[in-house]
Chain A
Amino acid sequence: MPSINELYGWLLDIYPDPVEGVILWFLDEDGIQRHRLHQPFPTSFYVHGPSSNLRSLWRYLKSLPEPLQLSRAEKQDLFVEKPLSVLKIMTETPPAQERLFNQLKRSFPGLVYYNADISVDLRYAAQTGVFPLARCRVLATDEGEIKTLETLDSPWAIDSPQVPLLVMALSPDSNPDHREPISLKVHLQGRHYTFPFRDERGLLIKLQALLRRYDPDLLLTVWGDNWLIDKLHQLMEKHHITLSLNREKGLGVERREERFYHSYGGVIYRGPQARLFGRIHISTENTVMYHDYGLEGVYEMARVTSLRIQTAARVSPGTGISSMQILTALRQDLLVPWHKQQVEWSKSAYNLLQSDRGGLVFQPTVGLHANVAEIDFISMYPSIMEHFNISPETVGKSSKNSTFVPELELNIDQDQRGLVPDTLQPLLEKRIRLKQELAGMDPRDARWHPFQARSSAHKWLLVTCFGYLGYKNARFGRIEAHEAVTAYGREALLQAKEAAEELGFRVLHMYVDGLWVQKEGASQIADFQPLLEEILDRTGLPISLDGIYRWIAFLSSRPDPRVPVANRYFGLFKNGTWKVRGIEVRRDDTSKWVKKVQREMLDLLAKAPDAGQLVDQLPRIHALLQTRLSALRQRKIPLEELLISQKISRSLEEFKVPSPAAKAAAQLAAIDKNLIPGQRVRFLYTRGKPGVFAWDLEERPDPKIVDIDRYAELLCRAAYTILQPLGVEERTLRWWMFTNAGYGAPPGFLPDSCSQETPLLGDYSWTMHHLDPVFFSAH
């Protein structure tokens, strides 16, 4: 009898094996040793259909040489009242199941398949409760076969310890899309190495030596998915040197093709993928939201979704949420449909008119406002799903305690807990607990950063789970559930507005799940507390005070100043932090230089002790603009800071009148650097035709061709965004910026040097200046 070893450690990776079933890699508790263990993992799926078809399937399966276990079972499909009679097919290993299903779906397309396309990480998680980076106790034989696995962690614990993963960072010195890299930078255990690509053999040998010596758990690359891993492979083949990229011997790199798709009106590009076995590969430019939450956020995505770390890093939050729902279904022994089958119920045209709508987006009261509180429903849509038990199988079902959705003719069953709320509940609770912890935490606390990252990861999952509910291919989606959520959302926002107005607040703006309110004399947290409690009381949904602004400016539309824009504002919180939306500094297509100057303008405004004294900063802003413009004219701005980066919205042939981005992309296409829609192109504005210079051409541009006037104009627009709420008119600003005039006078004074035609500040700003410190716009 083989002896049994006990191991305490963290789960690193899990993947299927055609012989051994499933392979699991663990890092042991001391953080030193890695263990490759395996376990037989018979895998089942289910088929439903007319009994004659099932019988012929049975006969077919019996004729196959593979060892299969066939049986009849009664299983629950979430969307069917009574349990279904299904054929259960069990294969010896997960790969055998995948192969068989691919064969059956072609040979027997008319049957309904369940649990057929579920990845092994989710299947294993459903059976054992384990998840990536979970601390486990494992009993295994000397041969490495797992006999018992016990999970000692919960993905919902907020204070899970940092797992001491050994990370090896690999970054080429330039973006290969733009320029062939010259060297590879390696960072590991606090040491830095640089290997030139020129010395191909040397690079391979040194890299292999590092891999052998340190055996890193995670390769953190830049452009690894779309370039580096392939490049290393080419070099390996050329020089017959093997790099141990995988820990699993004999396996290659798992590749997925690049693709692009349309989502919410934009084109999303997903690069190709290169995944490893036993070692984790994360390619930062291809990791969704990496810039937002970093590695810690990736780990958190893996913990809460139970997807392999490498998968969790690369999937969209929609797939993350879907995986969590599949896991809930598997644990409740519910069938997981391969295809979504259920369709929208037929409804009257009148009902369609009522239900096919989104959240309420109001137009703010344009202008500058002091002492404004921003109040947000915490994760509004997920909270609604959780609170009102909204799930595809609970909507439209009347029971003893069903509730009636406002505006819609729709019941929601409250007797049975829905799959979607059941999945969301722990995630919501964890997020709220993290937020509470963070609210009272010093940012220097070591837990602050990981808590932030985890909270960001949850935010993305929660934001997506609502859209996913209405997604056409969502297995556990239903359009009526989606519509019920928005209906409750509108109701909650209007209830909040009514509560605010009844308590004497003025509502300046409302946006789907948040409202901005103001009241004479209210400027401290305690002043807004009764309102929060009232809203919680009326709606039952968690709500929080996002902050109190010292002042906030809501902006109007650029083409038509009469029209307010919902999501274009900037405000300074009392604690000195900014919240800025929709203006140049937040936009991806603004040059660094313009962003920098706009940021400097905001910094100057932040110096004003209150809204009434903002105008006193105008002379300094005027001087700043003059200095920056003169630096631009003297060509002292590095070209990198003038780069504009824009997404290509469609393929080049589709442009009738090419945009500057399209012209730049065409320049690149001429030297065989082809960009596809969704990718970004970087360029400079230049004088004459064609007006742009693509930055990633082989040659460097002559700095003299830069179109200075164009950049001055861009700066003028960015400056106007900031100054407009202070009452500065565009023509005044132009006069300040482009006529070389001194500031000389407060707004509204007529300097001696200018004639009547000279643009001046409007009267409006003058009266504003003499009003009390609290500014109200004309309403």
Chain B
Amino acid sequence: MGRTVASITQTFLKERAAFARFRRALRSSDQQVLDDLFASAQKHLAAASYASHALPFETFLLAMLLEEHKEVVRLRQEITELRHALHQ
């Protein structure tokens, strides 16, 4: 039976494609960073699907933030460890 509501993957690809012009006008180095952001949203498609938010892009933005913050936490931890090692 054909699905009426687009799947989360289809939705994600569509939302990403909607920024194709934005991406095109970025510097190549910035394009890489933008791709990273979308890739980090893609890691949480299952959760976004389960959430079934009426405007999925909001969920994607949150997923990007989540991955960003994860990285911040990881870096903070690493700095603490490095500091610790330096002071020993």
Contact = CB atoms under 8 A, between A and B. Distances in A.
- Physical contact A–B (CB less than 8 Å): yes
A510 interface: yes
A564 B40 CA distance: 10
Given A357-B49, A363-B42, A494-B50, A471 B1 contact: yes
B50 A470 contact: no
B66 interface: no
A562 B39 contact: yes
- By size class, the interface of chain A is 20 to 34
Interface in B36-53: 36, 39-40, 42-46, 49-50, 52
A710 interface: no
Contacts of A104: none
A358 B36 CA distance: 27
B73 to A, nearest CB: 11
A303 B45 CA distance: 42
Contacts of A358: 3, 7
Given A356-B3, A362-B46, A510-B46, A563 B39 contact: yes
Looking at A361, A470, A564, which has the most chain B CB atoms within 10 Å of its CB? A361
Interface string B51-84: 0101000000000000000000000000000000
Given A357-B52, A494-B50, A352 B4 contact: yes
Given A357-B5, A361-B46, A362-B46, A562 B52 contact: no
Looking at A358, A482, A562, which has the most chain B CB atoms within 10 Å of its CB? A562
Contacts of B39: 560, 562-563
A360 B49 contact: yes
A490 B5 contact: no
26 contacts: A350-B54, A352-B5, A354-B52, A356-B3, A356-B4, A356-B5, A358-B3, A358-B7, A360-B46, A360-B50, A361-B45, A361-B46, A362-B46, A363-B45, A363-B46, A471-B1, A472-B1, A479-B1, A482-B1, A490-B50, A560-B39, A562-B35, A562-B36, A562-B39, A562-B40, A563-B39
Interface of B: 1, 3-5, 7, 35-36, 39-40, 42-46, 49-50, 52, 54
Nearest to A364: B43
Interface in A217-274: none
Looking at B36, B46, B49, which has the most chain A CB atoms within 10 Å of its CB? B46
A564 B50 contact: no
Nearest to B6: A356
A559 B3 CA distance: 27
Contacts of B4: 352, 356
A80 B3 CA distance: 27
Given A357-B5, A471-B1, A564 B43 contact: yes
Contact of B1 (A350, A361, A470): A470
A754 interface: no
A353 B5 contact: yes
A350 B7 CA distance: 15
A353 B54 contact: yes
Given A356-B5, A560-B35, A563-B42, 14 more contacts: A354-B52, A357-B7, A357-B49, A362-B46, A363-B46, A470-B1, A471-B1, A472-B1, A482-B1, A562-B36, A562-B39, A563-B39, A563-B43, A564-B43
Contacts of B49: 357, 360-361
Interface string A645-671: 000000000000000000000000000
